[in-house]
Structure 1
């Protein structure tokens, strides 16, 4: 679980990830969402959390043990070049004892298309074993991943698991990947950790609150909110989703989608309208190029100061290798308060918040420090909550009862606004709208904190 300590108000207005470091990037699950759901359907109401990835940490027993020896239950998965996906489940933690471990719930499996073929343990007393020079070891050599500290598989059907080797892995014993997932509880709290009324009246009241909002500083007609986050987290999708709520149907004005690099290449300021022909809403969402882990890739952190202070013009073309120059076309040399950023929102994928790479954390920390120096309030917008927790996917109203979502965050909950963006839907959903509108409402409250602080300084 990613730990985010609570920091002192007015010194550091926003807590941010400083927990366990993931030293190497690309910790993305190779298992598809459907494959994960199929495995979880065998285990109850659970969620899979990626612990180990051989292409990241190494195809060795010691690397596997370092990441996984204290975790249970687990699902171990092997992938070969022939396209087979196979592995095993155990309730027991892997150890270096060299002894067999009893587990009557253990099983091996393989996928045939989307269908899971399951091979239950036949001798529970010898279900799992661990030795130093291999990865997950099931039965008496029935299935060994990372055998002999090599990216290979060893199988011996009949050794406490009955299966057909050709059916399991096509007799291709060379691994291109090995992953280990922890199985986590995805049950619900009896009482929600945040109260919400899921009624049409709630949506109506939130929309009216946003429409009638006025910044407390008369010279500022609209609150400017800066959206920052890794590539693919959902910044542009959030604008499209909010725009959809006020338009009354799903729209797609800002460029969004799935890509390894940012689809947003310009600094964009988006004004929302209260309906197709309605008046502009009192909030401007500022979209940026996505953050990437590598140096010279994605949003240049040095551009953040120009954005926060109001120097950067709309439609400025980002250059990852060089920040905005003060002599560039459109550069605002004397920005007014209305041009500056009044609230910063970090858009983070709920599925990946616990495995943020170190370089990404460092960039986010640098941005946080810049915002702190300017006294700008900051908020986490947590996206893809339905993908992160199966119970939330089943019913969005479970979001504030989800144990998994709350414990994965590890942050002061007042700093977090969970949402589900419209990405595939054609029609609006009431509960989705309420979460989206609640997030915007919180952004406006945070912006008010900024204005109040500015006004108090002027009267000193």
Structure 2
């Protein structure tokens, strides 16, 4: 096993580790060495825990699948909601295809590895794959995109996937008080906040980020904290395209019958890589200047144009955006494409030109690091999270102090103290930055 040499490039390995979190990959099986027979595969890969299959074809595609459930030749259909197919071919954007909800991930038989009984590797003990089209199958895939319809394999490898031993810093790299008193003090400070400029009643905070990063979930999480229960006012979930299609302004109240709090969270369409899709950069400029009304329906192929009456005057300071927050998924930082990075850079340039302060919320930190998943209070002693904060700081060109790790509520049914403290600390920082903006604006 020690003599096995992986065919994965450093870029491909980086992409795969980003998909799987903080993991280590150990090469178990290499078809060119051990043979393409199903028996050879099972001899080396059965009962090894989570595994990653990587296939290479003669067209240069690098693709495969992940399963978190052991191979055991049980003959059973396997349910595995963590299973997915992928393509990490160099030079292209990584592709992931999750198993469809309620569908079996694979059949655990004595044959070669398969995913959803749709995609078979080392088919019939040969150097090939076979795809069986199934209506409403386990995976919704396009064979042209996944492997270029080239079914002849040049290599097939299987890796054992183990969670890396999370490195712990000698001391916390940020100081946070994880107790109920701190939560209550943060909530009191936010509730009692009054903008410096008396013409501004509430701070307007704009959230921007890629599809699925957690913009709408952030609002739902903040709203849940102040309502004292789980809420789902903004549409949130997982989708390949933005679930938010309108510009929405979400005020938050202090409890069900309470007064409105001194901030408004503004939600936008998610950013997408391709042109003509997702949020238009020119729309962002109009939002920042307070020209776009609530519930405006975005048009990805045409930017907003204010009517003549609106265009003839400048929006008031109250209508403008006072702080911009970028929502970035911690599990996908290393997978961020150059096109998306360029879009974010163009947006930051536009925001900078208007002098609006900017913060990055790094979401899904629990999914990115097993140590943090086990205990959210370890977020600031995790070396892995620290490296991710530094990475997003470097890639987006913002100071490390402006990158704040958080966990949104997604599947929880009850509030969590640690989660609340992180979210409220981030919100307090947004209000602090907005205050600086108002101060500078008044000085002009």
TM-score by length of 1: 0.66
- Once structures 1 and 2 are overlaid, which stretch shifts more, 185-194 or 334-343? 185-194
> Which residue number corresponds to residue 49 of structure 2?
116
> Which residue number corresponds to residue 301 of structure 1?
281
Q: Is residue 194 from structure 1 mapped to residue 174 from structure 2 by the alignment?
A: yes
TM-aligned CA deviation for residue 334 of structure 1 = 3.0
> Which residue number corresponds to residue 216 of structure 1?
196
> Which residue number corresponds to residue 317 of structure 2?
337
Aligned 8 A contact 2:163 2:370 in 1: no
**Structure 2 residue matching 1:369: 3-state secondary structure:** helix
> Which residue number corresponds to residue 376 of structure 1?
356
Q: Indicate how the Cα distance of structure 1 residues 328 and 231 shifts in structure 2: closer, same or farther if over 3 A, else same.
A: farther
CA distance in 2, matches of 1:367, 1:389: 29
Match of 1:437 among 424, 428, 444: 424
Q: Indicate how the Cα distance of structure 1 residues 145 and 233 shifts in structure 2: closer, same or farther if over 3 A, else same.
A: closer
> Which residue number corresponds to residue 174 of structure 1?
128
Q: Is residue 47 from structure 1 mapped to residue 22 from structure 2 by the alignment?
A: yes
Match of 2:56 among 146, 156, 162: 146
> Which residue number corresponds to residue 256 of structure 2?
276
**Structure 1 residue matching 2:388: 3-state secondary structure:** helix
Q: Is residue 416 from structure 1 mapped to residue 403 from structure 2 by the alignment?
A: yes
Aligned 8 A contact 2:292 2:306 in 1: no
Q: Is residue 239 from structure 1 mapped to residue 219 from structure 2 by the alignment?
A: yes
CA distance in 1, matches of 2:208, 2:380: 24
TM-aligned CA deviation for residue 74 of structure 1 = 3.7
CA-to-aligned-CA distance 1:401-439 (integer Å, 9 cap, x gap): 111011122133310121111111111011011111111
Q: Is residue 455 from structure 1 mapped to residue 388 from structure 2 by the alignment?
A: no
CA distance in 2, matches of 1:229, 1:144: 30
**Structure 2 residue matching 1:146: 3-state secondary structure:** strand
CA distance in 2, matches of 1:255, 1:428: 19
> Which residue number corresponds to residue 252 of structure 1?
232
CA-to-aligned-CA distance 1:10-69 (integer Å, 9 cap, x gap): xxxxxxxxxxxx9x9xx97699x8xx5xxxxxxxxx813xxxxxxxxxxxxxxxxxxxxx
| Count of residues paired in the alignment | 337
CA distance in 1, matches of 2:327, 2:193: 23
CA-to-aligned-CA distance 1:159-200 (integer Å, 9 cap, x gap): xxxx9x945537424356689899865221121100111100
Q: Indicate how the Cα distance of structure 1 residues 117 and 326 shifts in structure 2: closer, same or farther if over 3 A, else same.
A: closer
CA-to-aligned-CA distance 1:103-132 (integer Å, 9 cap, x gap): xxxx996478xx7389xxxxxxxxxxxxxx
**Structure 2 residue matching 1:322: 3-state secondary structure:** coil
TM-score by length of 2: 0.68
TM-aligned CA deviation for residue 293 of structure 1 = 0.4
CA-to-aligned-CA distance 1:263-319 (integer Å, 9 cap, x gap): 000000000111111111111100000000000000011111100011111100000
CA distance in 2, matches of 1:388, 1:152: 24
Q: Is residue 356 from structure 1 mapped to residue 336 from structure 2 by the alignment?
A: yes
CA distance in 1, matches of 2:432, 2:329: 23
Q: Indicate how the Cα distance of structure 1 residues 388 and 88 shifts in structure 2: closer, same or farther if over 3 A, else same.
A: farther
Q: Indicate how the Cα distance of structure 1 residues 242 and 332 shifts in structure 2: closer, same or farther if over 3 A, else same.
A: farther
Where does structure 2 lack aligned partners over 5 or more consecutive residues? 1-10, 34-41, 64-72, 74-108, 115-121, 130-145, 148-155, 394-398
CA distance in 1, matches of 2:15, 2:309: 39
CA distance in 2, matches of 1:117, 1:294: 34
Q: Indicate how the Cα distance of structure 1 residues 200 and 295 shifts in structure 2: closer, same or farther if over 3 A, else same.
A: same
Q: Indicate how the Cα distance of structure 1 residues 108 and 455 shifts in structure 2: closer, same or farther if over 3 A, else same.
A: farther
Aligned 8 A contact 1:203 1:437 in 2: yes
Paired residues for 1:400-415 under 5 Å:
400-410=380-390, 411=393, 412-415=399-402
Higher relative contact order (CA 8 A, sep 6+): 1
Aligned 8 A contact 1:311 1:332 in 2: no
Aligned 8 A contact 1:152 1:174 in 2: no
CA distance in 2, matches of 1:319, 1:328: 19
Q: Indicate how the Cα distance of structure 1 residues 288 and 282 shifts in structure 2: closer, same or farther if over 3 A, else same.
A: same
Aligned 8 A contact 2:169 2:382 in 1: yes
Provide the alpha-carbon RMSD of the alignment.
3.5
Where does structure 1 lack aligned partners over 5 or more consecutive residues? 1-21, 37-45, 49-72, 77-86, 90-97, 99-106, 119-135, 137-142, 154-162
CA distance in 2, matches of 1:289, 1:110: 43
**Structure 2 residue matching 1:195: 3-state secondary structure:** coil
